[in-house]
Amino acid sequence: MNLPAHQPPQIIRANGIDLCYEIFGDPAAEPLLLIMGLGAQMIHWDDEFCRQLAAREFRVIRFDNRDIGKSSRLSGGKRLGPIELLKMRFLKIPVAAPYRLIDMAKDTVGLMDALGIKSAHLVGASMGGMIAQEVAISFPQRVRSLTSIMSTTGNPKIPPPTREAAAMLMAPPPATKEEYFERFAKTWKVLRVGSFPEDEALDASRAARTFERGLNPAGVGRQLRAILASGSRKERLHSVTAPTLVIHGTVDPLVRPEGGKDTAASIPGAKLLMVEGMGHALPIPMWPQIIGAIAEHAHGAATKAA
């Protein structure tokens, strides 16, 4: 079997910043853009996950969002503290942010412009799902289909993360490499919910690769501010015309299952796939179901458009 072509990571100028991206698959295949979540580098879309998607006849493009990995690092915005979060929650005082999700959506469209892609299938995980939703709202002509995974509408009525997941999100950044590796394994244990030996066996090598590409704790803080400052998309999502698939885990501790249900209910004609036993992660045993659903949805949307 001929494996689809693979282009190594490159840097491109988009929306006034540098974005690091990587392409898997046939250049003539339908473009499918993978958008990662809060504080997560593009390599959190596992290489093999990307290859398996590319083998389903897609040109798969993954990239580092602004303020993460090898993409441009911005500045400004103090670390979010408990006081500010309490003010936001109870006094409805908005969080200040150097940029918002719409700016990250413009990065995504800018990357498509730079690569000469008129429209693409968008697949976003967690914050990446929020960015993909924003593109579908603000730049509808650029979206062939939308898949929003373990994400939400920003609706404040959705239940908050579990105490354990919230504590992990707000923990101060690790001070040493050893501490980072320890935190990485612990974080994914909380997010995956349950035992996934294949993934646990890869935690150390994944942590090493993430660490080597470079950490940016201040950038993660700015991304979190962008989410909180952007408010709810619930009403605006009613205008989305792209064929939409919402995938969510039944035991997600960070973005609760209600977040996925709310997203599907807010987008006209959206399909909802609740994955039994899936937390806030894409564990290897669940890839066949997830990759199968993404491919079927995107190809189905393309057939309808044709």
Tally of domains in the chain = 1
Q: What predicted TM-score, i.e. pTM, was given to this entire model?
A: 0.95
**For residue 1, what pLDDT is reported?**
46
Tokens matching residue 233: 């998309």
Adjacency order of strands within the sheet including 143-149: 6-14, 17-24, 58-63, 30-35, 120-125, 143-149, 244-249, 271-275
- Note whether residue 15 is domain-resident: yes
Say how far apart CA 145 and CA 306 lie, in whole Å: 13
Q: What is the CATH number of the domain that holds 54?
A: 3.40.50.1820
Give the model's pLDDT for residue 94: 72
Q: What are phi and psi of 45, to 5 degrees?
A: -85, 95
Domain assignment of residue 45, yes or no:
yes
Two tokens, residue 196 = 């996934």
Which residue bears the tokens 């994400």? Answer: 151
Structural domain harbouring 18? 6-161+219-305
Spatial CA neighbour of 219 closest among 115, 49, 69, 26: 69
Residue 245 is assigned to a structural domain of this protein: yes
- d(CA 148, CA 150) in angstroms, rounded, equals 7
Is there a domain that residue 174 lies in?
A: no
Neighbours of 38 (CB within 10 A): 18
Question: How many angstroms separate the CA atoms of 183 and 197, rounded?
Answer: 17
Question: What letter does residue 67 receive in the DSSP assignment?
Answer: T
Calpha distance 254→261 (Å, rounded): 14
Q: Per residue of the chain (306 residues), what is the pLDDT tens digit?
A: 455 689 999 999 999 999 999 999 999 999 999 999 999 999 999 999 999 999 999 999 999 999 999 999 998 877 766 666 666 666 666 778 899 999 999 999 999 999 999 999 999 999 999 999 999 999 999 999 999 999 999 999 999 999 999 888 888 889 899 999 999 999 999 999 999 999 999 999 999 999 999 999 999 989 999 998 999 999 999 999 999 999 999 999 999 999 999 999 999 999 999 999 999 999 999 999 999 999 999 999 877 775
Would you say 15 and 110 are in contact if contact means Cβ atoms under 8 Å apart?
A: yes
Half-sphere exposure of 306 (CA within 13 A, CB side): 7
Q: Name the CA dihedral angle for 280, 64, 144, 115, rounded to a multiple of 10 degrees.
A: -170
pLDDT at 87: 61
Provide CB contacts within 8 A for 1, sequence distance 6+. none
Q: How far apart are CA 190 and CA 211, in angstroms?
A: 20
How much is the pLDDT for 173?
Answer: 87
| Distance between start and end Cα atoms, the chain | 29
Alpha carbon distance 50, 62 (integer Å):
8
